[in-house]
Chains A and B, each alone.
Chain A
Amino acid sequence: MNNRWNRRKTLVLWLVIAVVFLAAVCIGGLFCEDAARATDFSRKNIAPCLKYPFGTDWLGRDMFARTVRGLSISIIIGVCAATFSAVMAFILGVVSATMGKTADTIVTWIIDLVMGIPHMLLLILICVACGRGLKGVILGVALTHWTSLARLIRGEVLQLKEQIYIKTARKLGKSNLYIAMKHMAPHLLPQFIVGLVLLFPHAILHESGITFLGFGLSNEQPAIGIILSEAMKYLITGKWWLALFPGIMLVITVVCFYTTGENLRRLLDPASAHE
């Protein structure tokens, strides 16, 4: 067994970097709450400099603090919604695969239905139904993102059910619970975890989109979408930094989630042993 630097170690390294960055943003957000709101007219519209790396806005608020705060809000909302969505996907996927033909037809129909309305539009509809606000955003993101993971889990369970070792276990008189825990869970769990992590970036992107459009939170809660939509109004006056830095931070955050998910997937996938 040699110990030289190999691909798997690189994967783990990226994973750690991504997780540390995300944790730093979340923790930073907790401490930035007051700084993000503090207005000071003596420092209005300052372009990025050493003291204010992201500049300040038209009310003299520090954009760095606002960005970190906004990101942490967005991450928390995104993670909540995605978790909700993933649990829903898991339950519906398993129900669809195990509870008989009628249940399967119904679930596949709902999946087709949800996929038939463009995500953004369905989000708008759900936000309208909830009378806008935080509830609408979380519910909207949760209800629009579960479909592909549910499909994946359904397919996986269907395939597992047909495996000979599971059929044998059944013939040997093992209980359903035993089969589910001993034979199915080890296959499904990694898939589920990876699916969950890969839902985060989508959820955060859509959350920022819907708040950008004005369906989400109030200006009191400066989620990243709101910061950017405020920046929109000042774009034409040339205040580029209001949009640039929060956007870059958002992109980095989402990239971190993607790399985390992808690297986890590659580490957990037995077929990657040969790479």
Chain B
Amino acid sequence: MELWRIAVRAVVAYFYLFAVTRASGKSTISQATPFDFIVSLIIGDVIDDALWAEVSIAKFGAAAGSIVLCDLAVKMAVFRSRTLFRLVNGDPRVVLRDGAEDRDALRSEQLNEDDLEHLLREKGIDRRRWKDIHRALMELDHELSVIPIPAAEPATKAMKEQLP
């Protein structure tokens, strides 16, 4: 297969994907939830066969287009309905409450005790400091958000001014 054909197909595929993702609005390119990441993976895979002409450009267009359309339809439906949002994306979940871990919550988030320690260490919090945590939540994108107790919140310069 001549190289220039592969190059032209790559350009055509690129512009097509660019057009459909721009047309569908920015929300489709985000990676906020696990599912967005998988959709990006799928679209990337679908290009593969088009480059080597295992499928025609039209077929590739149908494949990539249908994925983007579905994603778009789901995003639009989820945008309108809070219930659908929670159904599709899940909820953030409290895993640590006032320094004590919530075993049931951990299990439903597929975390063991080591995992929680790792995630907190990545935030610079070791076990001695757990008592300073008011709440720790597992967010939708598997990031751990930590809310400290008021006394342990960062001090600001404004507060220093207020000292007697």
Q: Do A and B bind each other?
A: no
